[in-house]
Amino acid sequence: MTALAVFFHEIPHEVGNFGVLLAWGMKKNRVLLFNIFSALAAFAGAILAFYLLAAFANFIPYLIAFAAGNFIYIATSDLIPELHQHFQKETAFSQTLSFVGGILVIWGAIRIFA
């Protein structure tokens, strides 16, 4: 489930990074190189995590709670205020629906896989 979530997160994330770096004036080849190194760092982290999993098994619940807390912090301090700042009646329903839909997907995944 985590691998699937990472996959669905990383594709738009890398496309967004590509666009931001291009907007900052970087050349396409350099942006592509940055994205490749970023992906290689993710693979290195995954391999490292795989081999060190047993050593950190007791800390996994705390690490997951810490990661979840970080995402909740990002959502509440950055993303939700951004939605309020650019509030438009035309998009409010779709934004709310997307937000609730994300909660339902997580709830459904927990019900199915837990």
Residue 86 has pLDDT above 80, yes or no: no
The answer to whether the CB of 59 falls within 8 A of the CB of 38 is no
At 11 the pLDDT is 81
Which residues form the domain of 13? 1-55
Are both 41 and 4 inside the same structural domain? Answer: yes
Query: Does 72 lie in the same domain as 27?
Result: no
Do residues 95 and 46 both lie within one domain? Answer: no
Q: In the structure, what pLDDT confidence band is assigned to residue 9 with cuts at 50, 70 and 90? A: confident
pLDDT at 83 over 70: no
Q: Give the Å distances, CA to CA, from 15 to 33, 76, 99, 101.
A: 13, 24, 21, 23
42 & 63 share domain: no
Indicate if 62 and 114 belong to the same structural domain.
Answer: yes
| Count of structural domains within the chain | 2
Q: What is the pLDDT of residues 87-107, one digit of tens each?
A: 777 777 887 888 889 889 988
